[in-house]
Amino acid sequence: MVNRILALLIKELLANLRDKRGRLVLIVPPLIQLFIFSFAATQEVKNQTLAILNLDRGRPALTLERDFAAAATFGAVLHLQRAEEIPEVIDRQQAIAVLWIPEDFSRELKRGGTAQASFILDGRKTNAAQIVQGYAMRILDDYRAEWSAQGQAGGVRLESRNWFNPNLDFRWYTVPSLVCILTTVVGLLVTGLSVAREREMGTFEQLLVSPLQPLEILIGKALSALLIAMVEGAFIVLVGVTVLGVPMNGSLPLLFGGMAVFLLAIIGVGLFVSSLSMTQQQAVLGAFMFLVPATILSGFASPIENMPHWLQTISFANPLRYFMTIVRGIFLKDVTAAVVWAQTWPMAVIACVTLSLATWLFKRRME
């Protein structure tokens, strides 16, 4: 049995890699996507207008106002006079956010108490607003640091750990996501096309009349896809770290362990699609029917927390969601094995389900 699977595995690898075109398809399009996404699909927010309503004439308040006005994020600053103006500014989209410094801001701060300022965001632009909020938090952090450095009361220095992307370099966020998405695409297409291609070429029947059991055929196809997609994933990680300069803070064994489990779940989906399709064309369409919703529900483009509840529930069945968390965690912070495990076991469950479904369908379709 091991011999037969090995023969099949070698055949699958050769069928995918022997042809020059086949090799190019696996290398060039992912690279192009990697570069296009990293450079073009930036979600950085620049040149936004900030409205400031400063009711406090104290020095601390003026410093805060100055710090915000000087941030690169805000191209223009709109000074307001009265609180009544705020709704209109947001309503007419004259500013993405309003910084509202109340009259007692400086006084509270000097007293060593908690000074409060409000930051009102245009919630309709969900993503931009969240990013702006991130910028605002950072400005505020710097401000606080400066304040305590002057030996003033309180002197709390806030650890600016929550963003792990101090320059908010969007590439740091995109590249790990692309590692997830591109390995998904490769794993899905390699398996999705493999059975359909054999059906089209007429070699499938030849396989079925050999002593190979259906399960052996599936194992051979799954393993070869796993290998190809892992290598592809490693390649993208390498390009991301060396060429695009994204830091790799965590453990590589954890990353690739998670990737293997994730890919098994994806390969199950791919084999399922493949058993269902008669032609490669159908297989590609089927693969994309999974790929697009899975990407959107992964938290790549917009945070899962912003989705309606029922969609959030559905996203628990999406292996990409967990893998995205793992990859980002390992790339940008050195997450522990326990954290990775918490994301890995759901993927293992999903892999069991998709692989069993694929096996069941594959056997059924042979009739």
Partner 1 sequence: MKAMADSSLVIENLSYAYGKTLPLALDGLSATIRPGIVTGLVGPDGAGKTTLLRLLTALLLPTAGSIRVFGLDTRDAAEPLHRIIGYMPQKFGLYDDLSVKQNLRLYADMQGLSAPERRLAFARLLTFTGLEPFQERLAGRLSGGMKQKLGLACALIRKPRLLLLDEPSVGVDPVSRRELWRMVGELVDAETAVIWSTAYLDEAEKCREVLLLDGGRLIFSGPPGTLTERVAGRCFQVRGISGNRRRVLARALQQPEVQDGIVQGRDVRIVLRSGQAPPAPMCLDAGESSWLEPVAPRFEDAYVDVLGGGPGGISALASAMAPWAGEREVTVEAAGLTKRFGDFTAVSEIDFSIRRGEIFGLLGPNGAGKSTIFKMLCGLLRPSAGSGRVGGFDLRSSPSQARSCLGYMAQKFSLYSDLSTRQNLEFFSGIYGLSGARRKETVARMIDIFGLRPQLQASAKDLPLGFKQRLALACAVMHEPAVLFLDEPTSGVDPLTRREFWTHINGLVERGVTVLVTTHFMDEAEYCDRIGLIYRGRMIASGPPDELKIQAASAALPDPTLEETFIALLRQWDEGEGAKA
- Binding interface with partner 1 (CB under 8 A): 3-4, 6-8, 10-11, 14-15, 18-19, 22, 201-213, 366-367
Shortest spacing between CB 218 and partner 1, in angstroms: 14
Task: Considering the complex, state which of residue 2 and residue 40 has its C-beta at the smaller distance from partner 1.
Answer: 2
Rounded to whole angstroms, the Cα distance separating 330 from 176 reads 9
Residue 208 beta carbon to partner 1: minimum distance, rounded to whole angstroms: 6
d(CA 186, CA 145): 46
DSSP string over 297-322:
TTTSSS-GGGS-HHHHHHHTT-HHHH
Contacts of 52 (CB under 8 A, 6+ apart): 65, 68, 69, 77, 78, 79, 80, 98, 99, 101
Minimum CB distance to partner 1, residue 361 (Å): 16
- Pick the closer one to partner 1 by CB: 212 or 263: 212
Question: What's the closest the beta carbon of residue 138 comes to partner 1, in angstroms?
Answer: 53
In whole angstroms, give the CA distance from residue 162 to residue 14: 46
Closer to partner 1 by Cβ: residue 181 or 212 = 212
The residue (of 65 and 216) whose beta carbon lies closer to partner 1 is 216
Is 277:200 a contact under the CB 8 Å cutoff? no
Write down the least CB distance from residue 22 to partner 1, Å.
7
CB of 186 to partner 1, least distance (A): 18
Closest separation between CB of residue 285 and partner 1, Å?
Answer: 15
Identity of the residue, 19 or 88, whose beta carbon is nearer to partner 1 in the bound complex: 19
Q: How far apart are CA 118 and CA 202, in angstroms?
A: 68
- CA 170 – CA 34 distance, rounded (Å): 13
Closer by beta carbon to partner 1, 205 or else 334: 205
CA–CA distance, 61 with 20 (Å, rounded to integer): 65
- Please identify, using beta-carbon distances, which residue of 66 and 364 lies nearer to partner 1: 364
**Length of the chain, in residues:** 367
CB of 112 closer than 8 Å to CB of 154: yes
Q: What are phi and psi of 53, to 5 degrees?
A: -115, 100
